[in-house]
Amino acid sequence: MGKTNNKDTEKDTNRYIVLLDKGNATSLKKIEKEFQISITSSEDLSKDNRSFNILNTDNSIFYKNLDVVVMEDIELEHLNHSLNDSKSPVIYFEKERVFTPVNEFDLINELKSQSVSFQKKILELEDLLKIKSIPQAPKIEMEWGLRAIGLDKTQYTGKGIDICILDTGFNITHPDFTNRTIEGKSFIPNEDWDKDFHGHGTHCTGTAAGNKRIDTGKRYGVAPESNIKIAKVLSDTGKGGTSSIIDAIDWAISKKFRIVSLSLGSPVGMNELPSLIFEKVGEKALENNCLIIAAAGNDSNRPSLPKPVSCPANTKSIIAVAAIDEQHRIARFSNAGINASTGGEINLCAPGVDIFSSYSMNYNKPSLYALLNGTSMATPHVSGLAALYMEANPGMNAREIWELLEKKAKPVANALYRDIGKGLIQAI
């Protein structure tokens, strides 16, 4: 059996608290006469003579200091009559209230339930305001690499930031880029920057600074409102030399471009020292507020011991980028920071397997789009994201952007530092 809920009976004691105009002997006699009761003064109460022992239909208690008489089982009508009678000493009455001890936990629970309901209301209101104030953009489908770096949660687009892609050129006739203003320069004799007979440069440019497919609307570019700058430093066969690359970096710095993206490299042997010239070039670029981002290289064949980071990514003044796949595993081919004694660490990792982007119609792949693998594909993800960071933090210099990219990168489960550096880049 459960306890009987006697709350209602507890509330109703059938006693009345009656306030007298004057608690003198005359008034008390009037009350005794009027209600046919006997009144005991509270002064006469004691341990052995408590109020609840006295109070009944015939006996009431008078609290002298308060001018109050407590009566029991009195007719309500009778009290109302006295109240309205100007000669009666009764000036106010009310039914006795029952005060129960407060249970602190009941009170806390009550407050909790109230706060939950309050929070729900706030959230409802917040949702309503969001819907009202911000036009809901249609949800844009995007490539896995873009989702992996959190582009589905950012408002930034790299607007106004110059990204310079040093590569095989760019297919300027690509339909996804018809509304873009693109500047470029070739550092390869007799080959134009605005053609890409290889396709690699167009792919990297699409990832870093493209937007979405004109036919399906699926987005593949990281920084769609950035300014595209092309430097052709690799020939149509995909090869190039130091002087073309450094010449192009000098051009990019003189044009005040903020980001230089190098999806290229030259293999490095175990314990081979980094290039001093690229070290100086990287430092000069940073001094000029320009961030150079380079591919770590694809010489590895895991699970065998990976190869060291390629040149120029192995220099301390240039960001080295490794590649991961959709399951966030290090890519089989991705080089690692294993030349610990001579430097050449990985700084960050980014999507670099099955990367969909724009391409150049050529005899190898007669298509406007291609799925490619490589640290070359990971690098433009970082370059594009750096543009978003620069847009979001206009007061920050290139070194600070680099630090922020590393700070915001997220760890990759079961991955080694030598393979992924500070982790997978994340949008802000």
User: Whole-angstrom Cα distance, residue 117 to residue 124?
Assistant: 11
User: Whole-angstrom Cα distance, residue 69 to residue 173?
Assistant: 101
**Residue among 246 and 361 whose Cβ is closer to another protein:** 246
Transcribe 278-326 into DSSP letters.
Answer: HHHHHHHHHHTT-EEEEE--S---TTSPPPBPPBTTTSTTSEEEEEE-T
User: Whole-angstrom Cα distance, residue 162 to residue 156?
Assistant: 15
Q: Could you tell me which stretch among 51-59, 140-148, 178-186, 275-283 binds another protein (CB under 8 A)?
A: 275-283
Assess whether 328 carries a catalytic annotation: no
We find the least distance from the C-beta atom of residue 159 to another protein, in angstroms, to be: 26
User: Is residue 378 a contact partner of residue 421, using CB atoms and an 8 Å limit?
Assistant: no
User: Whole-angstrom Cα distance, residue 271 to residue 292?
Assistant: 23
Q: In what order do the strands lie in the sheet with 59-63?
A: 38-41, 59-63, 68-72, 15-20, 90-95
**Residue among 222 and 252 whose Cβ is closer to another protein:** 252
**Binding residues with another protein: total (CB under 8 A):** 35
We find the least distance from the C-beta atom of residue 163 to another protein, in angstroms, to be: 18
Residues 52-111 interacting with another protein (rule: CB under 8 A): none
Among 11, 130, 280, 410, binds another protein (CB under 8 A): 280
Residues 233-272 interacting with another protein (rule: CB under 8 A): 233-234, 238-243, 245-247, 249-250, 253-254, 263-267
We find the least distance from the C-beta atom of residue 330 to another protein, in angstroms, to be: 20
We find the least distance from the C-beta atom of residue 158 to another protein, in angstroms, to be: 23
Determine which one of 82, 357, 376, 383 is catalytic: 376
**Residue among 35 and 193 whose Cβ is closer to another protein:** 193
**Residue among 90 and 188 whose Cβ is closer to another protein:** 188
Long-range CB contacts for residues 100-103, cutoff 8 Å, separation at least 24: 100/10
Assess whether 200 carries a catalytic annotation: yes
We find the least distance from the C-beta atom of residue 238 to another protein, in angstroms, to be: 4
Other Cβ atoms within 10 Å of 282 Cβ, number: 24
Q: Does 334 bind another protein (CB under 8 A)?
A: no
User: Whole-angstrom Cα distance, residue 356 to residue 206?
Assistant: 9
User: Whole-angstrom Cα distance, residue 137 to residue 204?
Assistant: 27
Burial class (CB in 10 A: 0-12, 13-18, 19+), 242: middle
- Amino acid making up residue 309: V
**Residue among 265 and 308 whose Cβ is closer to another protein:** 265
We find the least distance from the C-beta atom of residue 138 to another protein, in angstroms, to be: 36
Assess whether 325 carries a catalytic annotation: no
Q: Could you tell me which stretch among 18-26, 148-156, 280-288, 394-402 binds another protein (CB under 8 A)?
A: 280-288
Among 54, 148, 281, 331, binds another protein (CB under 8 A): 281
What amino acid positions are annotated as catalytic residues? 167, 200, 376
Residues in contact with another protein by the rule CB under 8 A = 167-168, 198, 200, 233-234, 238-243, 245-247, 249-250, 253-254, 263-267, 275-277, 279-281, 284, 288, 311, 374, 376
